[in-house]
């Protein structure tokens, strides 16, 4: 219930006093409740949620099917540690996620709790299998805040600064970026440069990439890039890992973004929306790679927790029943059409409207020049949107990208309301 003394300002003051300043805070808002694609704060103010808890709420807030599944599970048992006492839901979820990964080969799957842990474990299985150390990741990529996650991440400030040394043998290639003049060939050449300058391919265990860079700015890897990487990995016995932590679970219009590649990675990571808000991440891949670590080498106390498995199984049902993949494509088209219209109306500041499925972004620039990123305008836009009741996230190597990760259960009416606010906020931010 609302308590009049609890305001966003008073709670922020307590937050500042008790929590370290390195813990970011997008908005000075404390949430009271949320439903679908809407949120209400402790002061009763309503917001449309275009952030989805950073790509976690594809099935929306407080979905009744997820709540019911978790309630049923909670009344039976909440924790045994899967490696001590097993439960069927873990195995059932693994079977179902395996069936959804592309590639005509025998696959296995296991669970952790966070995206970063999934990435850590993808590297562990790749190293154990290949008996090699090297890993190639990409500039602008984001893979988490653990030491390996940071090492793989291709952005120093704020993710890596002050936290080294990092695990060795990690190299960064260039990610294709049409807008900023990095062709697929340039990106492939940069891998060859690593082979020439830093490490021979026979010592590289894995190449890891996001099919669409999330934190990096929603740049989409063209399928021909993935196909070339597949060829390269086959040639040198390197494990190809798709980090689908942000792109997975229907965000891009298919269950996994790599389904749109035309080739299959060897290992994928999932987290975020796969369990609709419960901490669960998955590592799925070729059975022989997944079986490489010795007994006891994989696992974790909370990994694949029963509540999270129950929620994830309900997510799969909701996707089926509510046809959320079709909805993801439709939402993506609707957003893109609207934002391209806005680009026409407000010339000079929108360098690009891009994305895959419902993973859509707006890149902002100065003086119609895509090479002059406008981080200030982007920040003002987020503030103006918040004032008008819309939560949007920014991202990008130059902090000049607005990304939309709206829950896929959003109605057209709420989606349009959010887009209208976004347009008004951009007009206000430009005028300011
Ligand atoms: N990989 C990708 C692609 C991500 O987007 C993220 C989170 N933004 C992570 C890994 C790390 O996930 P987590 O924060 O759950 O550790």
Q: What is the residue extent of each domain of the chain?
A: 8-62+323-431, 77-321
In this structure, the residues whose C-beta lies within 6 A of any atom of ligand 1 are 54, 114-116, 119, 142-144, 210, 214-215, 243, 245-246, 271
pLDDT-based confidence at residue 1 (cuts at 50, 70, 90): low
- Locate the ligand 1 atom nearest the alpha carbon of residue 269 and give its number: 1
- Locate the ligand 1 atom nearest the alpha carbon of residue 247 and give its number: 3
For residue 208, report the distance from its CA to the centre of ligand 1, in Å.
Answer: 13
For residue 117, report the distance from its CA to the centre of ligand 1, in Å.
Answer: 9
Q: What is the mean pLDDT of residues 187-216?
A: 98
Nearest CA to ligand 1 atom 5: 246
Q: 350-373, pLDDT tens digit by residue?
A: 999 999 999 999 999 999 999 999
Q: What is the mean pLDDT of residues 109-136?
A: 98
CA dist., res. 397 & res. 117, Å (int): 23
The domain at 77-321 falls in which architecture?
3-Layer(aba) Sandwich (3.40)
Q: Which of 245, 265, 359, 401 to mutate to test the pocket of ligand 1 (most atoms within 8 A of CB)?
A: 245
For residue 428, report the distance from its CA to the centre of ligand 1, in Å.
Answer: 32
- Locate the ligand 1 atom nearest the alpha carbon of residue 210 and give its number: 3
pLDDT at 312: 98
Q: Which of 145, 160, 246 to mutate to test the pocket of ligand 1 (most atoms within 8 A of CB)?
A: 246
- Locate the ligand 1 atom nearest the alpha carbon of residue 271 and give its number: 15
pLDDT-based confidence at residue 4 (cuts at 50, 70, 90): low
Cβ atoms 268, 241 nearer than 8 A: yes
Q: φ, ψ for residue 161 (rounded to 5)?
A: -60, 125
Contacts of 193 (CB under 8 A, 6+ apart): 173
pLDDT at 3: 52
pTM (predicted TM-score): 0.97
Give helix then strand counts, H and E, for the chain.
13, 16
3-class secondary-structure state, position 128: helix
The mean pLDDT value of the chain amounts to 97
- β-pairing, 390-391 vs 369-373, is unpaired
For residue 7, report the distance from its CA to the centre of ligand 1, in Å.
Answer: 31
Alpha helices in 245-347 (DSSP H): 287-290, 306-321, 324-345
CA dist., res. 5 & res. 218, Å (int): 40
Closest CA to 283 of 115, 426, 138: 115
For residue 20, report the distance from its CA to the centre of ligand 1, in Å.
Answer: 21
CA dist., res. 325 & res. 39, Å (int): 23
Q: φ, ψ for residue 130 (rounded to 5)?
A: -85, -20
User: Does the fold of domain 77-321 match that of domain 8-62+323-431?
Assistant: no
CA dist., res. 216 & res. 116, Å (int): 16
Q: 28-82, pLDDT tens digit by residue?
A: 999 999 999 999 999 999 999 999 999 999 999 999 999 999 999 999 999 999 9
Q: Which of 23, 111, 114, 115 to mutate to test the pocket of ligand 1 (most atoms within 8 A of CB)?
A: 115
| Kind and range of the H or E run holding 245 | none
Q: Which of 210, 242, 268, 272 to mutate to test the pocket of ligand 1 (most atoms within 8 A of CB)?
A: 272
Cβ atoms 374, 365 nearer than 8 A: yes
Residue 103, burial from CB neighbour count under 10 angstroms (0-12, 13-18, 19+): middle
Q: Which of 116, 219, 278, 281 to mutate to test the pocket of ligand 1 (most atoms within 8 A of CB)?
A: 116
**Hunting for tokens 């891998």 — which residue is that?**
191
For residue 245, report the distance from its CA to the centre of ligand 1, in Å.
Answer: 6
Residue 261, burial from CB neighbour count under 10 angstroms (0-12, 13-18, 19+): buried
CA dist., res. 385 & res. 428, Å (int): 9
CA dist., res. 222 & res. 229, Å (int): 11
pLDDT-based confidence at residue 347 (cuts at 50, 70, 90): confident
CA end-to-end span of the chain, whole Å?
Answer: 37
- Locate the ligand 1 atom nearest the alpha carbon of residue 116 and give its number: 16
Cβ atoms 236, 203 nearer than 8 A: no
CA dist., res. 44 & res. 26, Å (int): 19
For residue 225, report the distance from its CA to the centre of ligand 1, in Å.
Answer: 22
CA geometry: angle 197, 175, 329, nearest 5 deg:
160
- CATH number belonging to domain 8-62+323-431: 3.90.1150.10
pLDDT at 230: 98
Count other C-beta atoms under 10 Å from residue 123's C-beta.
28
For residue 413, report the distance from its CA to the centre of ligand 1, in Å.
Answer: 30
């Amino acid at each position: 219930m609302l308590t009049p003394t609890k305001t966003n300002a008073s709670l922020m003051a307590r937050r500042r006093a008790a929590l370290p300043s390195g813990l970011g805070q997008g908005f000075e808002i404390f949430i009271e409740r949320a439903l679908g694609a809407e949120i209400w704060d402790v002061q009763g103010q309503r917001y449309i949620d275009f952030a989805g808890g950073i790509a976690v709420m594809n099935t929306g807030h407080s979905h009744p099917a997820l709540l019911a599944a978790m309630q049923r599970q909670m009344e039976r048992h909440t924790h045994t540690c899967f490696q001590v006492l097993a439960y069927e839901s873990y195995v059932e979820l693994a079977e179902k996620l395996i069936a959804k990964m592309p590639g005509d080969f025998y696959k296995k799957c296991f669970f952790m709790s966070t995206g970063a842990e999934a990435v850590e474990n993808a590297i562990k299985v790749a190293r154990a299998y290949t008996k090699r150390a090297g890993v190639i990741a990409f500039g602008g990529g984001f893979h988490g805040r653990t030491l390996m996650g940071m090492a793989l991440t291709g952005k120093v400030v704020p993710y890596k600064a002050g936290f080294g040394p990092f695990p060795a043998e990690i190299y960064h290639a260039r990610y294709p970026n049409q807008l900023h003049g990095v062709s697929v060939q340039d990106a492939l050449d940069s891998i060859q440069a690593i082979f020439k300058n830093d490490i021979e391919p026979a010592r590289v265990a894995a190449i890891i990439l996001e099919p669409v860079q999330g934190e990096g700015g929603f740049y989409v890897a063209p399928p021909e890039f993935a196909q070339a990487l597949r060829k390269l990995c086959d040639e040198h016995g390197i494990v190809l890992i798709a980090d689908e932590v942000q792109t997975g679970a229907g965000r891009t219009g298919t269950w996994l973004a790599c389904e749109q590649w035309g080739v299959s990675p060897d290992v994928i990571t999932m987290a975020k929306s796969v369990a609709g808000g419960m901490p669960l991440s998955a590592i799925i891949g070729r059975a022989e790679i997944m079986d490489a670590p010795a007994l006891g080498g994989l696992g974790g106390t909370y990994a694949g927790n029963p509540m999270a498995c129950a929620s994830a199984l309900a997510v799969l049902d909701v996707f089926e029943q509510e046809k959320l993949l079709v909805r993801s494509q439709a939402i993506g088209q609707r957003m893109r059409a609207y934002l391209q219209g806005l680009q026409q109306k407000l010339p000079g500041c929108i360098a690009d409207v891009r994305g895959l499925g419902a993973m859509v972004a707006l890149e902002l620039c100065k003086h119609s020049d895509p090479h002059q990123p406008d981080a200030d305008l982007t920040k003002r836009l987020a503030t103006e949107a918040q004032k008008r009741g819309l939560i949007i996230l920014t991202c990008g190597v130059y902090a000049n990208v607005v990304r939309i990760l709206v829950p896929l259960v959003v109605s057209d009416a709420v989606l349009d309301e959010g887009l209208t606010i976004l347009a008004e906020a951009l007009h206000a931010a430009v005028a300011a």
